């Protein structure tokens, strides 16, 4: 810094200034999608001494069981403030004991309506296998890790005839069965 008086006299002083940078805040969740009766643990990671969540809680970790966007403000031991948000999604209509088909009829004609055999929240069940049988009990299609994308084709990729078929969808803990009709 240089100071100059009205008489044009000057003096200089040098002083080092340390700029303190705050700690980096990293938000984590053990899961970002909640199903019925589930909770997620949200954690503010970094070297902080005080926390204030949008829920009013003041701990490093909180447990949430509702969908929403959660906010945290964290303060380190130098008084620096960091903040962040994390989003949690809730899926309703999930039955941990049964996989439910949304439709009992498929009309695979690419009109966007009932083109595929669909199961409610199939992604919530993890690894699965879908097996389609014809009316005589022969397997016509087998799909691992099914993603609601069967459009009435057999294992050769050929369209199956109009008619009734039977499906079995399995996960590690669940076996669900039902009928599916193909209309063309």
> Which residues touch 177 (CB under 8 Å, ≥6 apart)?
166, 167, 168, 169
Class of the CATH domain delimited by 105-182: mainly beta
pTM equals: 0.54
**Is the confidence at residue 71, as pLDDT, over 80?**
yes
Instruction: State the DSSP string of 125-155.
Output: G-S-EEEEE-TTS-EEEEEES--S-B-SB-T
Q: What mean pLDDT is predicted for residues 126-142? A: 96
The model's confidence at residue 19, banded by pLDDT at 50, 70 and 90, is: low
**Pairing verdict, β 81-90 and 33-34:** parallel
- Is residue 93 a contact partner of residue 121, using CB atoms and an 8 Å limit? yes
- Is residue 127 a contact partner of residue 143, using CB atoms and an 8 Å limit? no
Instruction: Specify the pLDDT at position 140.
Output: 97
Domain definitions of the chain by residue range? 12-90, 105-182
What is the overall mean pLDDT for the chain? 89
Q: Encode pLDDT of 164-180 as tens digits.
A: 999 999 999 899 999 99
Q: Encode pLDDT of 86-130 as tens digits.
A: 998 887 666 778 888 888 899 999 988 899 999 988 888 889 999
Asked, colleague to colleague, whether 12-90 and 105-182 share their fold, the answer is yes
Architecture of the domain spanning 12-90: Sandwich (2.60)
């Amino acid at each position: 810094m240089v100071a100059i008086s009205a008489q044009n006299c000057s003096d200089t002083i040098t002083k080092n200034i340390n700029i303190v940078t705050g700690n980096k805040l990293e938000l984590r969740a053990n899961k970002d999608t909640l199903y019925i009766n589930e909770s997620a643990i949200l954690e503010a990671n970094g070297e902080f001494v005080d926390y204030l969540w949008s829920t009013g809680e003041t701990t490093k970790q909180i447990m949430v069981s509702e969908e929403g966007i959660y906010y945290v403000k964290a303060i380190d031991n130098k008084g620096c403030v960091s903040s962040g948000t994390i989003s949690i999604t809730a899926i309703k209509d999930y039955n941990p004991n049964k996989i439910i088909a949304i439709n009992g009829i498929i009309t695979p004609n690419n009109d966007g309506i009932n083109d595929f055999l669909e199961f409610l929240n199939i992604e919530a069940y993890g690894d699965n296998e879908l097996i389609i049988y014809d009316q005589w009990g022969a397997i016509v299609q087998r799909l691992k890790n099914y993603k609601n994308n069967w459009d009435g084709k057999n294992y050769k990729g050929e369209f199956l005839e109009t008619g009734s078929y039977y499906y079995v969808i399995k996960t590690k803990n669940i076996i669900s069965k039902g009928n599916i009709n193909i209309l063309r």
